[in-house]
């Protein structure tokens, strides 16, 4: 099996008779950190979502870790990936519940929640330890996004798909998150962003143009 690479092979998407993405080729090697940038309607979310099968191309293929994204491989592909949207509405009463809940799933039965590591990761992304005991509905959108990121890393996800990860952050928190993401050398990261400062810190920017 290949590494944690992503390949868009002649991918096209058509919505309501309009071509949104036309014959798109792109290779994202394992461990590369890239940003999708472009105006609204250029297809950034469509491409990001296609990596985990939430959108399906009208032609061409998306390949993740050497597997075509289709119904036969989607479970294995999603096990590698963490998709972290900008807007989060999750059925958890507390931060602790959010972080602990995945370990009750059969797919994670071999893993054990590590609170010490969770608190260490929280510090690295600019979250105070006291947030661990808070109600999930009392914290900010930016805090929620970072906590879901931490949950993904605790579960050893190899591919992170991030939707506007810095949009709700102050400059200091943004810098901490950026520094932390850059340290994840063996993790493939694809981020949608309008934040040119953040994008410029990643390995590469892929600019998308509206058709």
181-197 residue pLDDT tens: 999 999 999 999 999 99
Alpha-carbon distance 168 to 162, whole Å? 13
Instruction: pLDDT band for 2, please (50, 70, 90 cuts).
Output: low
Q: Which of 108-112, 163-167, 204-208 is most confident? A: 204-208
Asked whether residue 1 carries a pLDDT value surpassing 60, the answer given is no
Closest to 87 measured CA to CA, from 142, 21, 169, 5: 142
Per CATH, domain 6-207 is 3.40.50.300: yes
Domain definitions of the chain by residue range: 6-207
Residue 161, pLDDT > 70, answer yes
Confidence of residue 144 (pLDDT cuts 50, 70, 90): confident
What strands, in cross-sheet order, belong to the sheet with 18-28? 18-28, 6-15, 59-64, 67-68
Residue pLDDT, tens place only, 22-61: 999 999 999 999 999 999 889 999 999 999 999 999 999 9
Mean pLDDT calculated for residue range 111-135 = 92
């Amino acid at each position: 099996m290949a590494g944690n690479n992503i390949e868009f092979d002649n991918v096209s998407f058509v919505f309501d008779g309009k071509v949104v993405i036309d014959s798109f080729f792109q290779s994202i090697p394992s461990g590369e950190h890239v940003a999708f940038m472009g105006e609204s309607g250029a297809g950034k979310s469509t491409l990001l979502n296609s990596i985990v099968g939430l959108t399906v191309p009208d032609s061409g293929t998306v390949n993740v870790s050497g597997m075509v994204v289709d119904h036969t491989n989607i479970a294995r592909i999603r096990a590698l990936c963490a998709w972290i949207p900008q807007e989060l509405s999750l059925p958890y009463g507390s931060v602790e519940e959010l972080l602990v809940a995945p370990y009750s799933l059969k797919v994670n039965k071999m893993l054990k929640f590590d609170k010490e590591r969770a608190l260490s990761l929280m510090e690295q992304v600019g979250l105070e330890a006291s947030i661990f005991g808070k109600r999930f509905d009392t914290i900010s959108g930016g805090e929620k996004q970072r906590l879901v990121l931490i949950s993904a890393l605790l579960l050893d996800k190899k591919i992170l798909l991030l939707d506007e990860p810095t949009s709700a952050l102050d400059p200091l928190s943004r810098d901490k998150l950026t520094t932390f993401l850059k340290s994840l050398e063996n993790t493939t990261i694809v981020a949608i962003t309008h934040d040119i400062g953040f994008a410029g810190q990643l390995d590469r920017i892929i600019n998308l143009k509206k058709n």
